[in-house]
Structure 1
Amino acid sequence: MAQGFEEFFRTATGHRPYEYQRALAADGLPRAVRVPSGGGKTAGAVLAWLHRRTVAAPGATARRLVYALPQGSLPHWTHRRIGGWLHRLGLADAVDLHLLAGPEAQNGAWRRHPERTAILVGTHDVLLSRALMRGFADTRTMAPVSFGLLNNDAHWVFDEAHLLGPGLPTGERLQALREALGTTAPTGSTWMSAVGDGTAPPAGPAATGVRRVRRLHPDPDPDRYVADLVAALGAAHRPGTRTVAALNSPARARAVHAALRAAHPDRPVVLLHPYLRAAERSAGRDHERYDHRHDERYDPVAESADGDGRDGFLVVTRALDAGSDLSARTVLTELAPWSALVQRAGRCNRHGEHPEGGDLLWCVPPGGPEDEDEDGPEDGDGYGSGDAGGAAARWLAAHEGAAVTVADLFRARVEPEVPQAPALGVPELVALFDNAPGADPVDVSRWLLPDRERTVFVAWRALAPEGPAPDEPGPGRAEQCEAPLGEVRARLAADGGGAWLRDDADGRWRPATAADLRSGALLLLDAARGGHLPGTGWTPGSRVPVPPLFTGRTPPATACAAWVPLEQHLRETEEEARALTAVLPGLSAAQREAVALAGRLHDLGKCHDVFQAMLRGGGGDPPPGLLAKSKSPWNTGVSSRPFFRHELVSALLLLAGPHWHAPGADPSLVTYLAAAHHGRVRVTVRPESGEPAPALLGVHPGDRTPPLALPTGERFPARVLDPAAPFRPDGRWAPLLGALLTAPDLGPFRLAHLESLVRTADWRSSARHDGPVPPAEQATPGPTAPGCPDGPRATIR
C-alpha cells in the first residue's frame, strides 16, 4: 500500500504536516507559495515533490528538483536537512542529492545520471547561469549538458524569490520560454516567499515567538560606526543566549567580527559568510545545529539541557536571509530590502523559546542605504537601495517598542522592490545557445546579479615570482574560497596584479587581466601576499601569508584498461543510448532513434590518421585495425596537431552525402548530435586562438580519411576534407542549425537535452573499459580527457 503523505512527512521530519503542506502534496507545486518565516516552506516544497515523485504520481512529476536559494546564502544547510529527510525515509540510495554552491558548484557528478531522480541544491546565480548556457564555474564544454538537464524534466523552486534581484524576472522569463518553445518533459517553477500580500497567512505554525523592535543610532561616521554597534551588541546580549549581527557589507561584517572578538574574548564570536574555504565553514556549524532537531517540534527543556555553546555572537552577511532555521534571542540588522528584513526578523526568537520575547535591533548603515554605491568595493552594501530607505524603515519606525510576530511581518503592506533585468526572449536564448569561444554574450551576470553581489573563486599557492609553472595543477575545491569580485578587483589593482588563471584556449597559466574578472572565474594567488585569515576567510586587507592547502598532485585512480576497437565503441555507445532513452519520458520515436544513431556514428572521425597515431604513439602493443581507445599507460593524449577535434571529422563525414541515412531518424539532427558530443563543435565553429590558417580545429584542407564500413551496414568512402566549407556564411551548417532550433518538435531546450543524452551514452560506453590504475602507473598523471565530465583522467575519450 502506498505511503500517505502524512506518514511520509512525519517519518521525514518527526511531526505532522500543516494544511498548506498537504495541499502541495495533493495538487503539486504551484507557481507561488507565500508562507511566514519559519512556516516550513522548505519541508513543504521538497517533501511534497518527493512524495509525488516516489509515491503518488511518479510519471507526472519532474525527475529533478532544482532548489535555488539567493546568492550569498549558505545552501549547505538546506542540503544537509534534505539529506536527513532522505535518510529517514530510506530514499538516500534512490534519490541523488547534489550541492551546487561555492566551490562545490564545480562538481559535475550530478550530470552523469540524467535518468535518476535527483535534488539539486544551490544558489540562484550558479543554477540560473547554467540554465542560460553560461554557468559560473562551469566549463564551456560542459555547459550544454547543464543547460539540457536543467531546462527539461525539472521543477525549479526559488526560495525567498524577492531576494533574487535580477534573477527573479530572469527565472520568470526562462520559465515562459520553456512553456513557449517546449521541453522533452514538463518543467515548472515555484517562487516561494515569506513576504505576504496583505492577506492572512495560510494555516501553519502558531506565531508564538515575539520580538521587540528597537532602533539603534550608531554614529554615521564609518570610523565610529563599528565601535557603536559592538557596544550596543554587548549591552543587548543576554548570557546563555545567542546574538546575531546581520551586516549588508562583507567589509563591515569583518570589522564587527574583529571588534567583538576583542571586546568579548571569553565568548565565541563566529563570522559566517560564503567567503570561507570549505574546512573553515565548519566553524559555524555549532550555530547551524537546528534548534528543533531537523524539524521536530521545538522543546525548550531539551534546549536548556543541550549545552552546545549557543552563548555567543554570530556575525553574518546575507548567509541567514534564506535557507537556515537558526534562532537567536537578539538579532541586529542593518536596514535592508523588506524581504531580507522579514527573514532576519524571523531568526529572532524563531520558535518562541524565549517566552519573554526577543530583541530585534535595527540601524541605518553609514551613508544610508541610498548611498551605498559611494562606499566603494571595500564597503559597499550587498543590497540595492530601492525600498530599503523608504517603506521598510517607516514600518519599523511605526512599530518601535512593539512586540511583533512573523504573522505581523507577513501581513505588513510593504511592497518589495521590483528588480529589473535585461530582455530575455527567443533571440537572446538562441544567442546563448552558442557556447563557442568568443560567442556573445560572454557573461550572463547582468541577468542574475547586481554588480556588488558578483563573486569569483580564489586559491592560494606558494608561487615563484614569475607565477605558476606551466604544469601547475589547477586548485581543487577544498583549496578554493569564494570572494566578492569587487574586492578582488580592488586588491589586484592596488597590488598591480598578482593573480593567474588558465587560458581557455591552450590551458596555460597567464596573468589575469581586468577583463578576466567575471563571475565564476577561478584565480590562483600568491600565498605570500596574503588575502585570507583563519576564522575570517577572505580578507583583502591582510598581508599575512596564507597557509596553502595544496597537498600535491592527485594521480588518476582509473583509466582505460583495454585497447578498444572503434567498431566496438560505436556499438556500445548505441546500446547505452537506447537503454537510456528507453526510460525517459517525452521523447518521440524519431528523437530516440536520432540519439541512438548519433551514438552509433559519433566517433567516425577517429578514423583520421592524426587520431589513430595519437592512440598508438604512446607505445604498448595495440591490435590492428581502427581504435577508439588506447590502453593505460600508453594513452598519453599527445597529438601531432594542436587543437585536433575528431568530432569535426565526424561531422564532415556525415555531411558528405545521404548514403548513411536511416529511416525513422532526422539526418540533420543525427549530424548535429554526433558533432556536438564533446561540446566544442556546435553552433559557431571557428579556429582556436593561435591556430594557423587555413586549419580548423586541427583539421587541414586536403586531409584524407580512409574508407570505413560498419557492421550495421553504413559505409563511408574515402574522403578528401575541406573542414571550413560547411561553416562559411554560405555553407550548410547555419541553415541546418537554424532549422533544428526553430523546429516545432525540437527547439533549443529539447535539442540540448538530446545532446546531453548522447554525451552520457558516450561516457558510459567508455566507462565499460575503465579499471584501476596500478600504483606504478600513477606516478605521472594522465592528461585531461576531452569531454571528460569531472576532471583529469588518463582515458582518451
Structure 2
Amino acid sequence: MASFDAFFRAATGEAPYGYQARLARDGLPAVVRVPTGAGKTGIILAWLWRRLEGPDRAGTPRRLIFALPQRSLVEQVAREAVRWLENLGLVDEVAVHVVMGGAGDSQRRWRLDMHRPAIVIGTVDSLVSKALNRGYGISRAMYPIDFALVVNGAQWVVDEIQLCPESTTTLRQLAAFTRGGGGASWVTAEPTGLTCMSATVSASLLDTVDNPAPAEADTVRIEAEDRVGKLAVRLGARRRVGRLAVEPGDYRSVASEVLRRHRQGTLTLVVVNTVAAARGVYAALRATSVPHTLLHSRFRGVEREGLALRVAADPTGAGHIVVATQVVEAGLDLDAAVLFTEAAPWPSVVQRAGRCNRRGLLDDAELWWLPPVRHLPYEEADVRAAVAELTALEGVAVTGEDLLDRDVPTTEPEVTVLRRADLIALFDTAPDLTGADLDVGPYVRDADDLDVQVAWADWTPVDATGRPAPQAKAPEARWRCRVPLGELRALAKRTAVWRFTQAVGQWTRVSDRQPARPGEVLVVAASAGGYDPESGFDPSARKPVPGCPSLDPTLEVASVLEQASGAEEAFRQDDASVAQGRWLSLERHSVDVRDHVEALIAAIGLVLPGPVLRAVAVAAYAHDVGKAHPTWQDALCALAGPADREWVDAGRPWAKSGVDGRLVYPDATTSFRHELVSLLLLDGPLRGLLADVEDPDLVRYLVLAHHGKLRIQVRGPDDTDDDRLLGLKHHEVVLTSELLGQPAGTLTVDLDQFGLGGARSWTRTALGLRDRYGPFVLAYLETLVRIADWRASADLEKAS
C-alpha cells in the first residue's frame, strides 16, 4: 500500500499539508474548517487514496461528488483533478465527469462504469437536483439513474457552504435520511457521506431539523503544528486595503485606475457584483494592449474551458487583467497582485480577498474596493455592513484570517427545508397530466435566480413555426449556457426559444403561459443571436452566433452511449434497439444483460440480501420479453433491406436491429412501449420465470422501469381511450411462442391494474416497493438493470 504522502507527492509534486494528511488517515469528516487558499481541493486526493489504497477501501464511497456554489466555474477544479489522475496513471481507472461541461465521453463514463471510482464536479444546483430525482439538464428518463448514483456510494463534498445555504441545508437533510436507522431514514445500497467545507461554518446552517450540528470531534481544522512551510506563508499573506477614489458605476474611471495600478507580469483581478457591471468595466478596457479577459457564469462550456485555461495561466510580459463576477469566489485558484472589488456581503469579500496574494509571495499586494451602484443581488444591509468594515480597515494590511475574525453581520437567509415526505413525493418522476412537474427549485436556489440551459444551433424548420424536427435532440452539455430565468424572458420576448415537450412529441415554444423551468434544456436558432463567444449571454445581441452545431436529424439514430450521456429521447422512441451493429436475438440479449448485471454486482461487491440480488438478475433476463409482441417485431423487422427481409423474418424474435432507422408503428399504437408488454407477459404466460423469486413484484417493477419512462404511473402522452394503453387494447389476445425457456402460450391483455381506483393498482404496488426497500435502494436496483442493459447493448466488456 502506497503511503498518502507518496501518493500526494506523485499527484501534485508537493507534500501534503498536515490537515490533508489527517483527512486521508482518519477519513472525511462532517466539516472541514479551512481558509480559502489553503488547499481544500486536496480533499479529492484524500478520498481517492482512501478508496484505492487506504485502510478502509470498502467503507469509502466509490464516487466523489464535488459541489461548488451556484455561479461558480468548475472547469479549473476538473482540470486539476484530471492532471492529478494523469500523474498517478489513473486516467483509465477513475472517471471525471463535469456537469454542464465536457464532451460526451465525460458525460456517460461515470454512469456506464458505475462499478468504478468517479469524480463528479458541478455546481450545487446541478448536483443537488440529481439528489432530488430531478436532475437539471438531463432527460426525465435519466433522473432515477443519476439519483441512484449520487445517493448511493457517493461522498459529497460541498465547498464554501456559506455561499450556498439552501443547497447545504438540503444535503444535510438528505444525509439524515441516508443513515439507515429509525423511521425517518432509509438504508443505501453503498456507503455514502457528506463533508461541508468553509472557513466560516455557521452552526445554524449545519443544524437542520432532522440533522443536528456535527460534534466538534467531526471537524477538521488547521492546527498549530500545521502552520509550517508553504501553508504558513499562505496563511500569513497580506493585502493592504484602500477605498478606490471613484464614483460607483463610473466604469471608465474604474478601468483607468485598474490600468494605472496594474503591474507588468502579474495578474490584476476586478470583481464586481453583476454581469452588467463586469461588461461595463471590460468595455472600458477594450483599447488597452494589456491582455484582458471577461469572466462570468453565462458562457457555454466550449468557451468556459478556454477561459478557465486563460485566467489560470501564469501571467507573463504585460501581465493579465481579469474582469469577473462572483464566479471567482470558489473553484478558481487565482493569485492577483492587485484586487479591485465592489463591496459585497462579508463572506464574499473574504473569498475575493483570498484571490489576492494567494501564495503569500508579495509584501505589497493591494486590495481596492468601492461601493456598488445598487446592492442587488445582495441584501442592502449586508452590503452596508461590508462598506463600514472596509472603511474601518483603510490602510491596513490584512490576512485572510484577519478578515475572517471580523464580526461583520450578514443576513441569515430563509431556507426551504426538505422533509421526508417531500423526498418521497419526488420518487415518482412522471409529470402530471398537463406535463407540469414538482419544482425542486426552492431546495437548491442559492443565487438571486435559478438557471436554464440554453444552446444555440442551426436547423431546417419543419413547419411555419420555425421549430426543429421532432427527432432533433438538444446539443450536448458543452454547447449549453446557463441563463437566469429572468434574463431568458427578455430573450424569449424577441425570438423563439424552444423546448422539447414529451407530451406532444415535438418542440414547442417557451411562452408566458408555458414559461421555462429551472434546469430545463432549451434551444435558440443561431441566427437569432443572444450570445457572443467573447462576452457570453446577452439577450440584446443580434449578430448570429458562430460555430453552432446542427440539429437536423441524420439517418443515424442515437446510440446507447448517447443515451448514457443524458440526451433527451422522445417517449415514443426506442433508439437503443436499432443500429446496434448487428441483428441480435432476444434470447441472446436477455442472457447478455443477465450476465452483465451479475458481473456488476460482483465487481461492486454489493452487500444486499440474496433474494434481492436474485430478483435483479431475473429482471435483467426478462426485461425485454415484451419485444416479442408482433407489433414491435413488425416495426423492427421492417427496417431490414429487401435482400435481408426473408432471413430477418425467419429469425424472430429480435432484440436489436443491425440497420439504421426508426420504429414506426400503426397509427393506433404510436406510443407502443415494449416494457409494458414485458410486465404483462410476466403476469401471464411467462410467470414461470418468477417461480423462484421471493418478491415477484420487485422483478415486475424493474422490468417495467428499465427505460425510465414507465415507473410508478403507467400512461401514454396521447392515450385517450379507456380501453387502450400504449398501443395495447384491453382484453386483446396475443399468441406467444416459446421464449426464455418458457412454453408457448396466450397473453390476454389486462389493463385493469393501470386504471384509477379498483382492487388492483399498479401505482399502489410500486409505492409499496418504494416503502419496503426505500427510495435509495429501489432506484439503485433500477440503475443496475439499466446500466447492464446499456453495457450489453454497447458490447462492452463485463465489469470486473
Q: Which residue number in structure 2 is paired with residue 361 of structure 1?
A: 368
**Aligned-pair Cα RMSD in Å:** 2.7
The alpha-carbon deviation at position 335 of structure 1 amounts to 2.2
The alpha-carbon deviation at position 453 of structure 1 amounts to 3.5
CA distance in 2, matches of 1:663, 1:459: 50
Q: Deviation per CA, 1:401-436, whole angstroms, max 9, x where unpaired?
A: 210112223333446654433231221111111111
Q: Which residue number in structure 1 is paired with residue 264 of structure 2?
A: 239
CA distance in 2, matches of 1:590, 1:468: 50
- The alpha-carbon distance between structure 1 residues 70 and 691, as it changes in their structure 2 partners (threshold 3 A), is farther
Are residue 216 (structure 1) and residue 244 (structure 2) matched?
Answer: yes
- The alpha-carbon distance between structure 1 residues 521 and 327, as it changes in their structure 2 partners (threshold 3 A), is same
The alpha-carbon deviation at position 141 of structure 1 amounts to 0.5
1:668-747, aligned counterparts within 5 Å? 668-689=697-718, 693-712=722-741, 714=742, 717-730=745-758, 731-743=760-772, 746-747=773-774
The alpha-carbon deviation at position 217 of structure 1 amounts to 5.8
CA distance in 1, matches of 2:718, 2:343: 48
- The alpha-carbon distance between structure 1 residues 626 and 537, as it changes in their structure 2 partners (threshold 3 A), is same
- Is this contact kept in 1: 2:75–2:305, CA < 8 A? no
Are residue 667 (structure 1) and residue 673 (structure 2) matched?
Answer: no
Q: Which residue number in structure 2 is paired with residue 566 of structure 1?
A: 586
CA distance in 2, matches of 1:742, 1:768: 35
Are residue 349 (structure 1) and residue 357 (structure 2) matched?
Answer: yes
- Is this contact kept in 2: 1:561–1:632, CA < 8 A? yes
AA at the equivalent of 2:673: R
- Is this contact kept in 1: 2:295–2:322, CA < 8 A? yes
- Is this contact kept in 1: 2:624–2:674, CA < 8 A? yes
AA at the equivalent of 2:399: T
Are residue 281 (structure 1) and residue 304 (structure 2) matched?
Answer: yes
Q: Deviation per CA, 1:196-215, whole angstroms, max 9, x where unpaired?
A: 67999533411232111123
Q: Which residue number in structure 2 is paired with residue 520 of structure 1?
A: 519
- Is this contact kept in 2: 1:421–1:448, CA < 8 A? no
CA distance in 2, matches of 1:512, 1:216: 44
CA distance in 2, matches of 1:472, 1:680: 17
1:173-188, aligned counterparts within 5 Å? 173-179=173-179, 180-188=185-193
- The alpha-carbon distance between structure 1 residues 689 and 244, as it changes in their structure 2 partners (threshold 3 A), is farther
AA at the equivalent of 1:747: G
CA distance in 2, matches of 1:595, 1:576: 11
Q: Deviation per CA, 1:570-621, whole angstroms, max 9, x where unpaired?
A: 1221111111112223322122111101011111211222111111122333
Are residue 55 (structure 1) and residue 68 (structure 2) matched?
Answer: no
Deviates most, 83-92 or 457-466: 457-466
- The alpha-carbon distance between structure 1 residues 556 and 663, as it changes in their structure 2 partners (threshold 3 A), is closer
CA distance in 1, matches of 2:794, 2:665: 22
- The alpha-carbon distance between structure 1 residues 498 and 636, as it changes in their structure 2 partners (threshold 3 A), is closer
- The alpha-carbon distance between structure 1 residues 662 and 423, as it changes in their structure 2 partners (threshold 3 A), is farther
- Is this contact kept in 1: 2:585–2:653, CA < 8 A? yes
CA distance in 2, matches of 1:708, 1:178: 45
Are residue 589 (structure 1) and residue 610 (structure 2) matched?
Answer: yes
Of 367, 388, 396, the match for 2:382: 388
Are residue 423 (structure 1) and residue 444 (structure 2) matched?
Answer: no
Q: Secondary structure at the match of 1:549?
A: coil
- Is this contact kept in 1: 2:458–2:549, CA < 8 A? no
Q: Which residue number in structure 1 is paired with residue 429 of structure 2?
A: 435
- Is this contact kept in 2: 1:195–1:342, CA < 8 A? no
Q: Which residue number in structure 2 is paired with residue 774 of structure 1?
A: none
CA distance in 1, matches of 2:455, 2:24: 44
1:476-491, aligned counterparts within 5 Å? 476-477=475-476, 478-491=478-491
Matched residue count? 729
Deviates most, 484-493 or 224-233: 224-233
Deviates most, 519-528 or 135-144: 519-528
The alpha-carbon deviation at position 324 of structure 1 amounts to 1.4
Deviates most, 643-652 or 690-699: 690-699
Of 436, 440, 445, the match for 1:449: 445
- The alpha-carbon distance between structure 1 residues 147 and 534, as it changes in their structure 2 partners (threshold 3 A), is closer
- The alpha-carbon distance between structure 1 residues 726 and 228, as it changes in their structure 2 partners (threshold 3 A), is same
CA distance in 1, matches of 2:263, 2:410: 33
- Is this contact kept in 1: 2:557–2:662, CA < 8 A? no
- Is this contact kept in 1: 2:582–2:659, CA < 8 A? no
- The alpha-carbon distance between structure 1 residues 418 and 627, as it changes in their structure 2 partners (threshold 3 A), is farther
- Is this contact kept in 2: 1:102–1:274, CA < 8 A? no
AA at the equivalent of 2:729: H
Q: Secondary structure at the match of 1:466?
A: coil
- The alpha-carbon distance between structure 1 residues 532 and 337, as it changes in their structure 2 partners (threshold 3 A), is same
**Normalised by the size of structure 2, how large is the TM-score?**
0.85
- Is this contact kept in 2: 1:208–1:351, CA < 8 A? no
CA distance in 2, matches of 1:544, 1:726: 51
Deviates most, 760-769 or 99-108: 99-108
- Is this contact kept in 2: 1:560–1:629, CA < 8 A? no
- The alpha-carbon distance between structure 1 residues 137 and 625, as it changes in their structure 2 partners (threshold 3 A), is same
- Is this contact kept in 2: 1:134–1:140, CA < 8 A? yes
Q: Which residue number in structure 2 is paired with residue 96 of structure 1?
A: 95
CA distance in 1, matches of 2:722, 2:465: 32
CA distance in 2, matches of 1:693, 1:491: 42
- Is this contact kept in 1: 2:342–2:369, CA < 8 A? yes
Q: Which residue number in structure 1 is paired with residue 627 of structure 2?
A: 606
Q: Which residue number in structure 1 is paired with residue 323 of structure 2?
A: 315
Q: Which residue number in structure 1 is paired with residue 790 of structure 2?
A: 763
Q: Secondary structure at the match of 1:706?
A: strand
AA at the equivalent of 1:581: I
Deviates most, 714-723 or 54-63: 714-723
AA at the equivalent of 1:457: Q
CA distance in 2, matches of 1:539, 1:101: 19
Q: Deviation per CA, 1:453-498, whole angstroms, max 9, x where unpaired?
A: 42222233456673134267334235433322211112323x2x42
- The alpha-carbon distance between structure 1 residues 196 and 581, as it changes in their structure 2 partners (threshold 3 A), is closer
Q: Secondary structure at the match of 1:60?
A: coil
Deviates most, 152-161 or 206-215: 206-215
- The alpha-carbon distance between structure 1 residues 474 and 615, as it changes in their structure 2 partners (threshold 3 A), is closer
Q: What runs of 5+ residues in structure 1 fail to find an aligned partner?
A: 292-306, 373-380, 771-797
Are residue 191 (structure 1) and residue 192 (structure 2) matched?
Answer: no
Deviates most, 624-633 or 591-600: 624-633
Q: Which residue number in structure 2 is paired with residue 21 of structure 1?
A: 20
Q: Secondary structure at the match of 1:181?
A: coil
The alpha-carbon deviation at position 557 of structure 1 amounts to 9.3
Q: Which residue number in structure 1 is paired with residue 506 of structure 2?
A: 508
Deviates most, 72-81 or 405-414: 405-414
CA distance in 2, matches of 1:46, 1:416: 30
- The alpha-carbon distance between structure 1 residues 249 and 692, as it changes in their structure 2 partners (threshold 3 A), is farther
AA at the equivalent of 1:599: A
- Is this contact kept in 1: 2:382–2:410, CA < 8 A? no
The alpha-carbon deviation at position 541 of structure 1 amounts to 1.9
AA at the equivalent of 1:725: Q
Identical columns (%): 37
- The alpha-carbon distance between structure 1 residues 239 and 60, as it changes in their structure 2 partners (threshold 3 A), is same
AA at the equivalent of 1:161: I
